Amino acid sequence: MPGSPRLTALIVACALFMQNLDGTVIATALPAMARDFGADPIHMNVALTAYLLSLAVFIPASGWTADRFGARTVFRAAIAIFTLGSVLCGRADSVPFLVLARIFQGIGGAMMVPVGRLVMLRTTPKHELVGAMAWLSAPALIGPVIGPPLGGLLVTYASWRWIFDINVPIGLLGIALVTLYVPEIKQPGAAKLDAIGLVLCGLALSGIMFAVETIGRGVVAPWASWSMAATGCLSALLYALHARRHAAPLLDLSLLRIPTFLVSVLGGSLFRIGVGAMPFLLPLMLQLGFGQTALRSGLLTLASSAGAIVMKPATTFALRRFGFRDTLLVNGVLSALFIGICAAFTPSWPAVLLYAALLLGGFFRSLQFTAYNTVAYGDIPPHRMSGATSLYATLQQLSLTLGVTTGAAVLELTMTLSGHASPETADFSAAFLAIGLIALACAPATLLMPRHAGSELSGHHPVPAK
């Protein structure tokens, strides 16, 4: 009994809610988990990275899987795997066990994001896509809003294991709703799976991310890190050569010739590297640098996510009034500025100023994400939509993973240079400045896109120059 596109969007968004809730809750709980495992809190970012890496490795096959087996079947199975992975994470008794469980959980998450987006793109007319993306995003944003305070509450008064167990009832409900209301969408004549491409992509992404995570950090021997880096880069080069010759490559790199898609990938990736470090750095700064409790840290972090929800009603107006290019250019600068403002935070700042800065930062970041996620598909032909969602989602998760590792690497570097055994406020300030500069680099990339780009989506029609 398929539902309306709006109902479908809300059901898909509820699955994204579960995934986003999981990501923000665990960030707040990392210090408590480190104490239980007897691990260094800074090195606990591997729990975040392992999940994001799993997403990046398995997302490339999501478009083909949905075309071959049907969107509803794949989406339902993805929720089931994610839920089972959550159960395993809640039973973890060591960092290696947790990392393996997070990787398994990431396999389910890898299918939920792009397949859900693919359903929306194939059931929504272009002129309604901005509004549909807002419907898709709104419930999913509730996860980051309640995640930090919920994580702080559970860690402070119960156990960090509950942050994973709360996914179980949500997952079971999601499976039932998908079965009842999400339509089965298949692409006729789906091509054969590009198995060679899948192997090369997996080696490239896992090798590069393993190297980024371990080089210079003493986690493994230096030769192992550099060997994985070489393997990843070589595999990426081999995949690029393979994709040029394959009729239906797993990740279609020729999509980057489309200006709107290229800008969304290039600018969006730089922006996500900066923003991806925020969920890792902010709770650690508030707890380790400012000495706040997990609950207090979660309540402050809530402001950043709340700002994202406040922006949603204004998204359609801003894009219709200014268009995608001008909005992404100006808003990209403002978003980076508010990331940089976090470098000025000190324990003496009044709570109201902290809340205001985080609220406004979340406000502008939300608009930037919605604009990138919408205009990326504005000029994609219908028969290439699966390939576009797979490539975009892969690069999206890769950049978020780089954000976590970049934030952790800069933080460790500043600690080493300053001789601090544990991170202090100045170390966090340097890290926020670094990721703010990376996010700022997204703004000039927008100029590669024509000023009228995405006008069919936004309804913006610039006045011709006289």
Q: What is the CATH classification number for the domain harbouring 262? A: 1.20.1250.20
Distance between CA atoms of 396 and 453, rounded to whole angstroms?
A: 21
pLDDT of residue 236: 93
Same domain? For 101 and 219 the reply is: no
Same domain? For 172 and 287 the reply is: yes
Same domain? For 29 and 131 the reply is: yes
pLDDT of residue 197: 92
Residue 417: inside a domain = yes
- Residue span of the structural domain in which 219 resides: 194-249
pLDDT of residue 37: 86
Asked whether 30 and 44 are in contact (CB, 8 A), the reply is yes
Same domain? For 181 and 243 the reply is: no
Collect the ranges in the chain with pLDDT lower than 70.
1-6, 23-24, 42, 135, 137-145, 148, 187-190, 213, 215-220, 311-312, 461-466
Distance between CA atoms of 260 and 129, rounded to whole angstroms?
A: 15
Residue 13: inside a domain = yes
In angstroms, the Cα distances linking 178 to 167, 183, 273, 436, 459 are 16, 8, 32, 39, 32
Same domain? For 90 and 228 the reply is: no
Distance between CA atoms of 61 and 193, rounded to whole angstroms?
A: 8
Q: Specify the number of domains making up the chain.
A: 2
Residue 463: inside a domain = no
Q: In the chain, how many H helices and how many E strands?
A: 18, 0
pLDDT of residue 143: 65
For 19, phi and psi rounded to 5 degrees? Answer: -65, -45
pLDDT of residue 221: 76
Last-in-domain residue among 224, 249, 274: 249
Same domain? For 175 and 199 the reply is: no
pLDDT of residue 435: 92
Same domain? For 278 and 323 the reply is: yes
Residue 348: inside a domain = yes
The per-residue pLDDT for range 27-44, each reduced to its tens digit, is 778 888 888 888 877 677
Residue 396: inside a domain = yes
Same domain? For 210 and 256 the reply is: no
Q: What does the longest C-alpha to C-alpha distance in the chain come to?
A: 69
pLDDT of residue 42: 67
Same domain? For 168 and 236 the reply is: no
The per-residue pLDDT for range 176-206, each reduced to its tens digit, is 988 888 777 776 666 788 989 999 998 898 8
Residue 465: inside a domain = no
Same domain? For 157 and 290 the reply is: yes
How big is the CA angle at 205 (ends 202 and 211), to the nearest 5 degrees? Answer: 125
pLDDT of residue 465: 47
pLDDT of residue 138: 63
Same domain? For 230 and 137 the reply is: no
Same domain? For 115 and 211 the reply is: no
